[in-house]
Structure 1
Amino acid sequence: MIDVAHLSKRYREVAAVDDVSFRCAPGTVTGFLGPNGAGKSTTMRMVCGLTLPSAGTATVLGVPYRRIANPGRHVGVLLDAAAQHPGRTGRETLGLTAQVLGVDQSRATEMLDRVGLSGKAARRRVGGYSLGMRQRLGIAQALIGDPSVLILDEPANGLDPEGIFWMRSLLREFADRGGAVLLSSHLLREVEAVADRFVVIAGGRIVAQGSKADLLTAPGGVLVRGLDAAALHGTLAAAGLPVRPDGAGAFVVDAPAEAVGRAAAAAGVVLTELRQATGGGLEELFLTLTAEAPGAPVNPAAIPATPPFAPPVPAQETLK
C-alpha cells in the first residue's frame, strides 16, 4: 500500500509538486503518467524518502519509507538504472544486494535467471551493459528481497519489444499475487496494457486519476454496428435515439444498450456489435489532460541545486 496525501515540493519560488494525493492498493498496478518536468520523479523520490517534502505526507505499508527497517525486504525500488557500480559484474551486484538485505545468495542466482541475465551476462561488468540490461538488473535488485510493493520509474527505457512484454507480464503477475506497483513510464500503450489505475500529473498537480474503466470509457453511450449501416442509422434516428457515426462504420448512441437493441430488433436490423463506447485510449486522454492542465511543466534547469538526500529522521523504526 502506498498512500500519498497533499504532497508538495517547492524549490524557492518553483513548485515542482503541488498538493498531490493518491493511493496504490494491493493487487493493482498504478500507472503514474505525465510529461517531462511534470513532477513524477520528484514525487517518487519523496515517496522513497530521498527528497524531503515541503508539505504533505507519503507512507508505504502504513509508515514513512525511511522508517521501514531493512526496506528492501518490503519495498522494491528502481528509480535510476544507471545508478549501478560499473566495475562490478551483474552477479557481484546482486550478491552484494542479497548480503545487505540479509537474504540467501541463492536468491541472487534466482533473480538473474528470472530477468534473463544468467550465464555470461551475469559475469560481465555492469559498465559494459546496455541500458536494457541495466534495467533488467535494476528490476532484479528491486525483486531480490521478495517485497510486497514495487516503485519503478521508467523501467522500460532501453528494453526491446520482447523485454517490454516480459516486464509487463512480470508486473501483472506481481500484482495478481497481491503486490502493489507504482509504475512511471512514457510508453503509454504499455502502461495501458498492464495498469489497473492511472494517476496523471501535469505542472506538478494531479489532473486526473481513477480506474482504467472510469478514465478510458466515454461518458455514456454505446457503440453499435450492423450488417446494413444505413438501415441501422435510420432505425436509431426514427426511434429518437441520439446517434452519430464513429468514423469506422459504426455508430455511437447516447442511450442504454437495451434501448438500442430493442429498436434494432423491432425494425429487424441485424446487429454485429453492441457494447459500451470507449474513448480514444490512454494516449488521447493523456494529451487532452496535460494540454489543459494549468501552469507549465517545471523546467529542471530552473530548480536550484539541493542535496539529493534528506537529513536523517530520528524516529523509531516501526515496520520490521
Structure 2
Amino acid sequence: MIDVHDLTKRYRRTLAVDGVGFRCTPGTITGFLGPNGAGKSTTLRMLVGLTPPTSGSATVGGRRYRDLPNPGRTIGVMLDASAQHAGRTGRETLRLAASVLGVPAARADAMLERVGLGAAAAQRVGAYSLGMRQRLGIAQALLGDPSVLVLDEPANGLDPEGIRWMRGLLQEFAAGGGTVLLSSHLLSEVEATVDRLVAIRGGRVVAQGALTELLAGSGVVVRGLDPAGLRAALLSAGLTPTSRPDGALHVDADAAAVGRAAAASGQVLLELRDTERGLENWFFARTTHPSQENAA
C-alpha cells in the first residue's frame, strides 16, 4: 500500500509539488503521468526518502521510507537505471545489493535469470545497453522480494520484446498481491499495462481513478472557423474547453451541448466529434498547460 497525503515540496520561490495526494492499493498497477516538469520525479523521490518534503506525508505500508527497518525488503525502487557502477559486472552488482539487503547471494543469480540477463551476468555494466541496464535495475528492485515497486520510466530503452516482457512481469507481480507505481511517457504502453491513473500538472493532481472509468467519458473535439470566438462562446455557456496539440478544442460535454453553445453565438464549426477514447487524447486534454490554452 502506498499512501501519499497532501505532499508538498518548495524550493525557495518554486513550488515543485503542491498538495499531491493519492493511494495505490495491493493488486494494482498505477500509472503516474504528467508532462516534463510536472513534479513526478520530485514526488517519487519524496516517497522513497531521497528528497525531504516541505509538508505532507508519503508512506509505504503505513510507514515512512526512512522508518522501514530494511526498505528494500518492502519496496523495490528504480528511479535511474543508469545509476549503476560501470566497472562492476551484473552479477557483482546484484550480489552486493543482496548482501546489503540480507538475502542469499543465490537470489542475485535467480533475478538475473528472471530478467533475461543470465548470459550477460559476467559482463561489466559499462558494456550493457540501455535496455540491459533497465533489466538490471528491475532485477535489483525485485531482489528483496518486496510487496511494492516504484519505477520511473521502466520501459525506457527496451525493445518491443522487452516492453512486452516487462508488462507481463508487472502484471504478474500485481496479480500476486503486489503494488506497482510507475511513471512513463510511453502512453500506449501505460494504457496496456496499468489499471489506475494519477495525472499531475504544475505540481498538482488533475485527475485520478480507474483507467476504464477515466477513459469512459472523454467528451468531444470541436474546431471552429474563429477559434477565439468559439472558445469564448463555450466559456459563456459554462463549458470548459482545453487546447489540443492539433489546434482543436476538447470539451468534457456531449456534442449537443457544444453545438448549441456554438449556434447561440453564431460560430461556424468545422469539426465536432466524439473524442477518441485513448489515453493519449485523455492525457493531453488534462495536462495541457493553461498558458498553452490561452495562446490558442
Specify the TM-score bucket, using the shorter chain as the normaliser: 0.7 to 0.9
Amino acid at match of 2:13: E
Q: How far off its partner does 1:97 sit?
A: 0.8
User: Identity over the aligned pairs, expressed in percent?
Assistant: 68
Q: Distance in 2 between matches of 1:279 and 1:25?
A: 29
Aligned residues of 2:101 and 2:144 also touching (Cα < 8 A): yes
Q: How far off its partner does 1:167 sit?
A: 0.4
TM-score (norm 2): 0.78
Q: Could you list the runs of 5+ residues in structure 1 that have no partner in the other structure?
A: 221-252, 255-276, 297-320
Match of 1:280 in 2: 277
Match of 1:53 in 2: 53
Match of 2:94 in 1: 94
Match of 2:250 in 1: none
1:21-71: CA deviation from partner (whole Å, max 9, x where unpaired): 000000000000011111100000000010011111000111001100111
Aligned residues of 1:46 and 1:52 also touching (Cα < 8 A): yes
Name the Cα RMSD after superposition.
Answer: 1.7
Q: Could you list the runs of 5+ residues in structure 2 that have no partner in the other structure?
A: 220-253, 256-273
| 3-state SS of paired residue (2:96) | helix
Match of 1:203 in 2: 202
Match of 2:142 in 1: 143
Q: Distance in 2 between matches of 1:143 and 1:202?
A: 30
User: CA 1:15–1:107 in 2, change beyond 3 Å: closer, same or farther?
Assistant: same
Q: How far off its partner does 1:213 sit?
A: 1.5
Q: How far off its partner does 1:280 sit?
A: 2.4
Q: Distance in 1 between matches of 2:129 and 2:51?
A: 28
Q: Distance in 1 between matches of 2:22 and 2:129?
A: 34
Q: Distance in 2 between matches of 1:107 and 1:58?
A: 29
TM-score (norm 1): 0.73
Match of 2:287 in 1: 290
Aligned residues of 1:218 and 1:279 also touching (Cα < 8 A): no
Which of 1 and 2 has greater Rg? Answer: 1
User: CA 1:149–1:295 in 2, change beyond 3 Å: closer, same or farther?
Assistant: farther
Match of 1:168 in 2: 167
Q: How far off its partner does 1:281 sit?
A: 0.8
User: CA 1:61–1:179 in 2, change beyond 3 Å: closer, same or farther?
Assistant: same
Aligned residues of 2:37 and 2:202 also touching (Cα < 8 A): yes
Amino acid at match of 1:288: A
Q: Distance in 1 between matches of 2:105 and 2:68?
A: 23
Match of 1:71 in 2: 71
Q: Tell me which of the two structures has the higher relative contact order, counting C-alpha pairs closer than 8 angstroms and 6 or more residues apart.
A: 1
Aligned residues of 1:91 and 1:123 also touching (Cα < 8 A): yes
Task: Kindly indicate whether residue 37 of structure 2 is the aligned counterpart of residue 37 of structure 1.
Answer: yes
Match of 1:10 in 2: 10
Q: How far off its partner does 1:219 sit?
A: 6.2
Task: Kindly indicate whether residue 183 of structure 2 is the aligned counterpart of residue 184 of structure 1.
Answer: yes
Amino acid at match of 1:172: Q
Q: Distance in 1 between matches of 2:206 and 2:280?
A: 15
Q: How far off its partner does 1:106 sit?
A: 1.1
Aligned residues of 2:48 and 2:65 also touching (Cα < 8 A): yes
Aligned residues of 1:33 and 1:186 also touching (Cα < 8 A): yes
| 3-state SS of paired residue (1:123) | coil
Amino acid at match of 1:208: A
1:127-151: CA deviation from partner (whole Å, max 9, x where unpaired): 1111111100000000011000000
Q: How far off its partner does 1:279 sit?
A: 4.7
Q: Distance in 1 between matches of 2:195 and 2:64?
A: 24
| 3-state SS of paired residue (1:52) | coil
User: CA 1:51–1:108 in 2, change beyond 3 Å: closer, same or farther?
Assistant: same
Q: Distance in 2 between matches of 1:15 and 1:88?
A: 39
Amino acid at match of 1:155: P
Q: Distance in 1 between matches of 2:277 and 2:73?
A: 40
Q: Distance in 2 between matches of 1:210 and 1:29?
A: 12
